[in-house]
Chains A and B, each alone.
Chain A
Amino acid sequence: MIVNQFLMLGAALFAMGVYGVLSRRNAVMVLLSVELMLAAVNLNLVVFDRAFRDELAAGQIFSLFIIAIAAAEVGIGLAIILLIFRNRSSANVDELDLMKL
């Protein structure tokens, strides 16, 4: 079991999250893709924690923090999307062009 197999999987997951954020039109789908990126970061943190045998388990603790903050982010993000949907009856990111000339 080499370290790089996990790291490459995390990189692939992150790249797919980036692709989703850029290519999805619906705001809820963009949030789902952000979750993919956060999952990739979590994987990397835990892998480094185990690879360097951290005495303080810092990688695992920070991945727990990321899980908690991701939950908060989803709550706020969905509330914002809900508000946008109520005001504009659309949740598509390319139709939110109020600040465009």
Chain B
Amino acid sequence: MPMTDKALFKEKFIKGILVSFALSSLFFLFLIFIFIFIEGLPLFHKIGLKNIIFGFKWAPTKGSFGIFPMIVSSFFVTFGALIVGAPLGLSCAIYLSEYSGKKMKMFLKPALELLAGIPSVVYGFLGVIYIVPIVRDCLGGPGFSLLSASIILGIMILPTIISISFDALMGVPKTYREGSYAMGATKWQTIFRIVIPSASSGILASFILGMGRAIGETMAVIMIAGNALKIPTSILDPLRTLTGNIALELAYATGDHRLGLFSTGVVLLVIIMILNYIANFSIKRKIIK
């Protein structure tokens, strides 16, 4: 039956509405960029890119806007989180995809989704109550430290690493596994020499997206990192991250100080864009192959 004009119009109308809603998310992204760059870029012009990114001193009320210690701290925390989270997450993904039965999968997957859904303030809270005192008592220092923050962030990025690595491992064709078994390889040899290398780009992407999550995390980090304005020299030193800096000071910042925080935001945004680009690149390369 041919469509009536009215039905055709309805189809087009619905499609139009869906397209505009779909594009609105892009529009918001665009707005965020515009907003942050408009606020953040003038200070780069005024103070100088080098003085902000490589400046050591952050005293925004006195005209010093160096955020180098925070950039370094953000990277330290991120790599710390990766050192904690990557082996745990990858092992879990391997267990899920290669060893666990259906029942275990049905139990573990929702549990992991729950882990992802726990608010970051709760992680921070647990960190303050348990991790910080343990670190202080066992290893010394203030407890509010790079180590504590790395542990908590490492746990927070587990769901990202596990779910993306799991998909990558499950995407390895069954024929590769069969080929390996048929030559007399053991299960572990098959996993270690065939499955993991075949899924390496997806696993790498999961690590990078996990890093993106870690570098952007704010609340939990503020609560346990100690927020001292310096480059940490040991894993027991407190530190302040880029995100922490914005969250801690925005409430009372005015004038150039406020602009300085936006500049921090610009740097953060650029770092996250780079990480996402690398992650997408490594996933795409896999698809093309």
Co-complex (A, B): no
A residues lining the B interface (CB < 8 Å): none
